[in-house]
Amino acid sequence: MTAAAPVAAAGPTRQKNTRRRLLIVFGGVLAALVGFGVLGIVVARPGPVQPPCRPDKPCGTPPNRAPRLVVGTIWHSTLGFEMEYYTRILKVLKNDDRNLSVSLEIPSRPELDLSLWVTVAPAAEATPLQLAQDRISFFRGKTLGFQADANSKHELLSPLVGDVHGIGGSYAGTIDSPQGPGQPLEVLIAAATEGGRSAVVSVATSMSEQESGDSPYPIFSLADTLMNTFRWPGEPLPR
Amino acid sequence: MTKPSRRLILPAGALAAAAVAAGVALLSRGEHATRVEALPQSAHAVLSSPAHDRPVGRTNPAAVIDFSLVLRLRQRELDAYLRALEDPTSPQYHHYLAAAEFGKRFGVAPHEIARLRRTVEAGGLEVTGGYPQRTSLRLRGSVAAVSRYFHVTLRDFVDSSGYRYHEPLRPARIPAVLRPSVVGVSGLSSRRVIRPADVPQGGLSPASAEIAYDIAPLHQLGIRGEGQTIAIVSFDSFNDSDVALFDRQFKIVGPPVKHVPVSGGTQVGGGSVEVNLDIDVIRGIAPKAQILDYEAPLQASFADVFQKIVADGKADIVSVSWGLCDQIPRGNSDRVATEQAMEAVIARGITIFVASGDAGAYDCQRRDFSDHRPTVDFPSDSPHVVSVGGTLLFTRQNGSYLEEAGWQDPFSNGGGGGGLNPVEPRPLWQKAPGVQNAKSNGRRQLPDVSAAADSDSGFYIVSGGQLTTVGGTSAATPFWAGSMLLIHQYVQKQKAGKLGFVAPLLYQIASTKQPYVPAFHDVVRGGNRLDAAGPGWDYSTGLGSPDVWNLARDIVAALKSKK
């Protein structure tokens, strides 16, 4: 009885337990299914709408790492200066750590005349004035009657070396050749200092002045082209 | 004519620079550089200083001349309207007017125009026309009748190029009977004072400009100028064959460029390179746009051209690469006529882009090498235009944008124009970091914006049958005008409202946080031979050059936020 009782008693109890177990399993499976469903919905649900770009951040295109375009040859100074020049049309007269001198040489256009000299130095060694005076002495040795050009049309209004304003002016003389006085020479000199460095640039041409147009000596536009590439030490070069 | 050999120096000198610059442009694409060596003459309208012109006696009294009466506008109402146009809280905000509506609201009444007509005809003068915006009346008469009626003496002069012109010795006196409705007499001088902004040599093809300034995404969206019309202001003309050759060279297909004569029109002359430059730069950016080339003789005025553009009512954007050193006093009839005409352009919802000049901070130096005063160019210095300055553009090897510097060529007197207007006050909308600075004096400051102009980063064009490269703010200006035409089309496509006179919007975008940055490349190197470029607005590059795709989206966002 005792044994049977439980057995007898076990009939409906077992059934109840089985049903309960089934219910628990069913409930568990259902809960799991619902859970997975909810999880699926959550996972699959599109996130909150993001603005296409964040304010103040570059947007849309990946960062560009292509190197800068360099066409000519780069002159470097250990003082930190650099400049680009073009051997296709320029003859290099001097190229060392502190100097770059070039002159225009296009065989098909011999009438085009332009020379350019760049000299750099630590500011402790040479001020812009000293560098400019060195250039004046240089031209005095090569020309006759070299002096400041009094013609206001020729004035160098903005003595710039690269982007740095400095001192300078226009000068005139006559080329001293073994055959005697040669052609008139027009010279512009600009010198400046920045960041403990000094630099001077001088340009010269023996070509004739023109009375209208953009400037009295349009050939000097080539000097501007070259100086567009002049960089002072520390001047950031975008990479 | 007197020194023909010297005239060769300009192209010769420029050739050397071009050889270098073209090398930069061509070698980057692996092309051969020699094809640019056959350069055409760099054609400038070389204009003489009046002080150097030769007087040759009284003007023939029987000669017949054309000129204009500048009509009085209801200026106070017009000023209030122009302010309200840019005020989002005003019911007038972006409520633009057709030419006839402008005339009705701000011009003299029709019966008064009829009275003026009768009055001047009684004085022996003929009224040959007017404009629906009622800003001026065109007159014709013999020199004798004009002299008698306006108490002027006309003299003839010959300039250094041999061009003969007439000019009054003193300003015209307006008869009392006209004064209630007339503020001035313009066009009594036939002196050629307008000149193209410079066109030095140097190489951006349509494809490379598209990459460098981020125009490509607009093109990829099919925004290429379809349904848009742009007016070019020219004081010369162009050969259709040059445009056809440019199209073939760069595989451009678009509507033919139309010649629109103004004041009798003009023929292809010494300034045609300028016209070719304007057309080709715009065509490279917006190839499907309709380009209207408004062509006036050099002795015509800006007012004549702007009046016709407004009256025609076709243009969405205007590009001007011509100007003169601004020494025009306030109240001068020609200045008043031009400013009034430009006000009518703004009221029409059109933006005028104008080149700021190519002599840096010394605009008058191009006319007289001895003139070393800081000066600016007119009408680029007007508060009614977007003034476009110049930069030198550096790119990466793949053609994309690297950096820019304010354009300054100290040895050859070149540079993007910039400085202070001598008379006009600074407009209310000219506000951005950098605008208020140590030089500010309450007057209009320029430029507003900038783009590649140094000859070393100029644009490819075809002129005189030759492929060449040219720069100058003459190139930067059609570049901005063409880019804004694409933005105008994008704004329409996005149903963002009306673009209108865009200068206030440019300053707003430059001075507030934007969703798409940078809208402007802030140029912080270089200068204009006097003032250095720096962070924010500056006298060399204004707000900077555009990232066109970003600017387009920022403009759309700004317009939608005001809806």
Alpha-carbon radius of gyration of chain A: 41
Check: CB of residue B390 under 8 Å from CB of residue B456. no
Q: Please say whether the beta carbons of B533 and B406 come within 8 A.
A: yes
At A9 the pLDDT is 40
Q: Which residues of A touch B37 (CB under 8 A)?
A: 108
- Exposure on the CB side of residue A205, measured as CA atoms within 13 A: 24
Amino acid (one-letter) located at B339: E
User: Would you call B17 an interface residue with chain A, using a CB distance cutoff of 8 Å?
Assistant: yes
- The per-residue pLDDT for A96 is 97
Give the minimum alpha-carbon distance from B383 to chain A in angstroms, rounded to a whole number.
Answer: 27
Distance, in angstroms, between A209 CA and closest chain B CA?
A: 8
Residue A213: closest CA among chain B residues belongs to which residue? B46
Q: Which residues of chain B fall short of a pLDDT of 50?
A: 1-50, 198-202
Q: Across the strands, what pairs with B164?
A: B158
Tens digits of pLDDT across chain A (239 residues): 333 333 334 445 556 667 777 777 777 777 777 777 666 665 555 544 444 455 455 455 555 667 777 778 999 999 999 999 988 899 999 999 999 999 999 888 888 999 999 999 999 999 999 999 999 999 999 999 999 999 999 999 999 999 999 999 999 999 998 888 889 999 999 999 999 999 999 999 999 998 777 899 999 999 999 999 999 998 766 54
For A69, left (φ over 0), alpha (ψ -120 to 50), or beta?
Answer: beta
The pLDDT of residue B4:
22
8 A C-beta contact, residue B200 and residue B14? yes
User: In three state form, how does the secondary structure of chain A look?
Assistant: CCCHHHHHHHHHHHHHHHHHHHHHHHHHHHHHHHHHHHHHHHHHCCCCCCCCCCCCCECCCCCCCCCECCCCEEEECCCCCEEEECCCCEEEEEECCCEEEEEECCCCCCCCCCEEEEEEEECCCCCHHHHHHHHHHHHHHHEEEEEECCCHHHCCCCCEECCEECEEEEEEEEEEECCEEEEEEEEEEEEEEECCEEEEEEEEECCCCCCCCCCCCCCHHHHHHHHCCCECCCCCCCC
Please report, for residues A81, A122, A166, the alpha-carbon distance to residue A125 in angstroms, rounded to integers and kept in the order given.
16, 5, 17
B428 and chain A: CB distance < 8 Å anywhere? no
* Contact B465/A at CB under 8 A: no
Which tens digit of pLDDT belongs to each residue from A4-60?
333 334 445 556 667 777 777 777 777 777 777 666 665 555 544 444 455 455 455
- Residue A120 pairs with which residues in a beta bridge? A199
Label each residue of B169-234 as H, E or C.
CCCCCCCCCCCCCEEEEECCCCCCCCEECCCCECCECHHHHHHHCCCHHHHHCCCCCCCCEEEEEE
CB contact under 8 A, B46 and A155: no
Structure tokens at B544: 């900077």
B370–A67 CB contact, under 8 Å: no
* Cβ within 8 Å, pair B16-A89: yes
Q: Look at A68 and B516 and tell me if their CB atoms are within 8 Å.
A: no
CB pairs under 8 A between A and B: 191
pLDDT of residue A26: 72
Amino acid at B483: S
Q: Which of A113, A221, A230 to mutate to test the interface with B (most CBs of B within 10 A)?
A: A221
Rounded to the nearest 5 degrees, what angle is found at the Cα of B473, between the Cα atoms of B532 and B355? 100
Nearest chain B residue (CA) to A110? B12
Residue B77 identity: E
Q: Are B461 and B276 in contact (CB under 8 A)?
A: yes
Cα A48 to chain centroid, rounded: 40
ipTM of the complex: 0.79
**Residues in CB range of A102: below 8 A, 6 or more apart:** A85, A90, A91, A92, A93, A115, A116, A226
Out of A86, A153, A215, name the one closest to residue B20 (CB).
A86
d(CA B405, nearest CA chain A) in Å: 9
